[in-house]
């Protein structure tokens, strides 16, 4: 029996669950007046710092190259800095559960880009799974957020940009992955580069003085860093084991977790159509998982 570290399905469940938990944490933080850009910075800086300590503990030798530097900068921008800023900006307006649903659109965009760039393609069963998942996501999107509180169209459009950047990141990290480089090393470099970009954004926007707001939510900061660090340790491993299209399925799992946690702990309420769509999304995950095993 393969260990979880070598199982695409096991990695998918763990990574997706941890991803889903970051959304309600982000909603709680922004509700406590923490700016979205600051929370995105803290997330990347904390994750990069924790994983850097892991590398030191493992006595991992890091050799910087021009290829790695390019990878860190591009991956940081399109995979973490921009989408995280969009996510934490949209959550107060769309809700944690609804924002999580935006992740479910990533596989469709990833599949399209994967075909265009000639990266690993799913078999017919995999395509069926993605279509089923997308149908569920479309049902959820039609509800436009929480029951009785339809989201403003502007924020829905902002939310729709999230899967576009996530898909672009999925493809880029696969086609430009530095050969023989440790997954955690890439996570460290990419997140610290994203933190540097977001810090520059804080300075440019005049929000550098908002760091004090983090002192009001110390336990949320700790929870976000620990959850995020654990997620990305598994995230980059899933990228290597499952490929970009399968990796994009974490949005399905993350959306389900965000919906449940938002409902149980944040008082969010969603229509029956939303829950029906979530159930269809789960069915799509199982179909694509079966397709992945067949391909293997």
What are the tens digits of pLDDT across the range 36-83?
Answer: 999 999 999 999 999 899 888 887 887 888 999 999 999 999 999 999
Please tell me the predicted confidence (pLDDT) of residue 121: 66
Work out the average pLDDT over 192-217: 94
Q: Look up the pTM and report it.
A: 0.83
Query: Is residue 247 very low, low, confident or very high in pLDDT (cuts 50, 70, 90)?
Result: confident
Token digits of residue 115: 């075909």
Secondary structure of the chain in the HEC alphabet?
CCCHHHCHHHHHHHHHHHHHHHHHHHHHHHHCCCCHHHHHHHHHHHHHHHHHHHHHHCCCCCCCCHHHHHHHHHHHHHHHHHHHHHHHHHHHHHCHHHHHHHHHHHHHHHHHHHHHHCCCCCCHHHHHHHHHHHHHHHHHHCCCCCCCCCCCHHHHHHHHHHHHHHHHHHHHHHHCCCCCCCHHHHHHHHHHHHHHHHHHHHHHCCCHHHHHHHHHCHHHHHHHHHHHHHHHHHHHHHHHHHHHHHHCCHHHHHHHHHHHHHHHHCCCCCCHHHHHHHHHHHHHHHHHHHHHHHHC
Please tell me the predicted confidence (pLDDT) of residue 227: 93
What are the tens digits of pLDDT across the range 22-32?
Answer: 999 999 999 99
The parent domain of residue 79 ranges over 4-295
Residues whose CB is less than 8 angstroms from the CB of residue 158 and which lie 6 or more positions away in sequence, other chains included: 86, 89, 90
Number of structural domains (the chain) is: 1
């Amino acid at each position: 029996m393969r260990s979880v570290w070598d199982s695409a399905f096991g990695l998918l469940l763990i990574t997706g669950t941890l991803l889903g938990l970051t959304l309600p944490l982000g909603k709680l933080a922004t509700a406590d007046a923490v700016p979205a850009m600051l929370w995105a910075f803290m997330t990347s800086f904390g994750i990069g710092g924790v994983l850097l300590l892991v590398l030191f503990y493992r006595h991992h030798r890091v050799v910087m190259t021009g290829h790695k530097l390019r990878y860190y900068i591009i991956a940081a921008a399109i995979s973490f800095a921009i989408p995280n800023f969009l996510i934490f900006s949209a959550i107060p307006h769309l809700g944690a559960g609804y924002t999580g649903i935006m992740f479910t659109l990533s596989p469709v965009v990833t599949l399209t880009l994967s075909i265009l760039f000639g990266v690993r393609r799913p078999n017919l069963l995999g395509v069926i799974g993605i279509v089923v998942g997308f149908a569920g996501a479309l049902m959820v999107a039609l509800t436009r957020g929480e029951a009785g509180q339809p989201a403003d169209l502007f924020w829905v459009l902002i939310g729709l940009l999230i899967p576009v950047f996530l898909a672009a990141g999925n493809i880029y990290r696969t086609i430009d992955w530095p050969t023989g480089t440790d997954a955690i090393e890439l996570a460290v470099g990419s997140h610290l580069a994203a933190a540097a970009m977001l810090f520059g954004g804080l300075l440019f926007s005049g929000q550098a003085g908002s760091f004090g707001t983090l002192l009001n939510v110390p336990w949320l900061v700790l929870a976000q860093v620990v959850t995020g660090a654990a997620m990305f340790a598994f995230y980059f491993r899933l990228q290597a084991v499952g490929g970009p299209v399968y990796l994009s399925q974490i949005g399905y799992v993350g959306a389900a977790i965000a919906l449940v946690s938002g409902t149980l702990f944040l008082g969010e309420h969603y229509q029956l159509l939303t829950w029906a769509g979530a159930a269809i999304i789960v069915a799509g995950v199982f179909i694509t998982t079966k397709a992945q095993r067949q391909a293997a």
